[in-house]
């Protein structure tokens, strides 16, 4: 059994930075994960702070029922473990994948925040584009995914924000938005919603050239995709994404060759 969940929860709860993002969120914060674009535009800063706080709270288990994360598949040799959990007031389960990367938090953040890297990280991502930039850490993105067997392709509209926390962690968090004109909707695609997705990058305590990473996903796939299939067929997909992150980080020219310890 891996020690990742307890270790990361302990790290976040014992943070001495006093960062408000690490505090539990009120239940009301989870009632409307998908917002109208006009609401986001009116107060981008509030959206950014709330979305990052939601990511931090969720990876610690807030709102995961009945009590905590369940252990899913993993690859011990590569230091990767998937956890899944049912989410309060949602028919869609969430997934959390944790592991180690032989690269700094900055290197990983650069890879994960780059829209062009989406199809490389996830084989089901067909295209990704930035539609609007709010500021240097936050933008509106549109993604298309490939179909699979009898499953229609999906598309997503999300606002993604990146934040460096006072203790050195980097959070990249995304939530879907809606708009009156059903922004970006295409014929043949089912509109899916990222209720909350993201990454939390945690610097290695003794080696800044390494980090721990958490990949979180809570997605409403919409269409005719039964939510229960996520637990049957979807738990291995995050492992592939994490393996790609490890590979892409190792190939980054700024990363020194790994040495045995």
Per-residue pLDDT of the chain (261 residues; tens, 9 = 90+): 333 333 444 433 333 233 445 667 888 888 889 999 999 999 999 999 999 999 999 999 999 998 889 999 999 999 999 999 999 999 999 999 999 999 999 999 999 999 999 999 998 899 999 999 999 999 999 999 988 766 788 999 999 999 999 999 999 999 999 986 666 677 888 899 999 999 999 999 999 999 999 999 999 988 777 677 777 767 888 999 999 999 999 998 776 665 544
In a domain, 126, yes or no: yes
d(CA 219, CA 174): 11
User: What pLDDT score was predicted for residue 67?
Assistant: 86
Q: Which tokens go with 258? A: 């790994």
In a domain, 258, yes or no: no
ω into residue 175 within 30 of 0, thus cis? no
User: What pLDDT score was predicted for residue 259?
Assistant: 53
Domain that holds residue 165: 4-251
| Residue 131: closest CA among 215, 219, 37 | 37
Strands 170-178 and 154-164: antiparallel
In a domain, 99, yes or no: yes
CATH number at residue 162: 3.30.530.20
Q: Are 174 and 206 in contact (CB under 8 A)?
A: no
User: What pLDDT score was predicted for residue 98?
Assistant: 97
In a domain, 261, yes or no: no
In a domain, 74, yes or no: yes
CB atoms under 10 Å from CB of 64, counted, come to: 22
* pTM of model > 0.75: yes
Q: How many domains does the chain have?
A: 1
In a domain, 260, yes or no: no
User: What pLDDT score was predicted for residue 17?
Assistant: 31
User: What pLDDT score was predicted for residue 237?
Assistant: 87
In a domain, 229, yes or no: yes
């Amino acid at each position: 059994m891996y020690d990742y969940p307890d270790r990361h929860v302990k790290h976040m709860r014992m943070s001495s930075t006093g960062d408000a993002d690490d505090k539990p969120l009120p239940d009301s914060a989870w009632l409307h994960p998908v917002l109208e674009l006009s609401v986001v535009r009116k107060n981008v800063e509030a959206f950014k702070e709330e979305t990052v706080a939601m990511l931090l709270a969720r990876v610690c288990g807030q709102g995961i029922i009945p009590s905590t994360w369940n252990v899913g598949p993993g690859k011990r040799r590569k230091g990767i473990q998937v956890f899944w959990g049912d989410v309060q007031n949602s028919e869609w389960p969430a997934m959390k994948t944790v592991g180690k990367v032989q690269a700094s938090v900055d290197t990983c953040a650069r890879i994960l925040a780059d829209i062009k890297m989406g199809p490389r990280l996830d084989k089901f991502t067909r295209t990704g584009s930035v539609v609007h930039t709010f500021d240097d850490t936050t933008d509106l993105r549109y993604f298309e995914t490939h179909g699979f067997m009898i499953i229609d392709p999906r598309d997503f509209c999300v606002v993604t924000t990146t934040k460096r926390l006072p203790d050195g962690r980097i959070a990249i968090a995304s939530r879907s938005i809606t708009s009156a004109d059903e922004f970006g909707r295409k014929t043949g695609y089912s509109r899916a919603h990222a209720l909350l997705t993201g990454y939390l990058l945690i610097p290695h305590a003794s080696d800044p050239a390494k980090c721990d990473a958490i990949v979180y996903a809570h997605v409403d796939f919409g269409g005719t995709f039964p939510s229960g299939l996520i637990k049957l067929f979807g738990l291995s997909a995050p492992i592939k994404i994490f393996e790609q992150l490890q590979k892409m980080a190792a190939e980054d020219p700024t990363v020194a060759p790994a040495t045995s310890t």
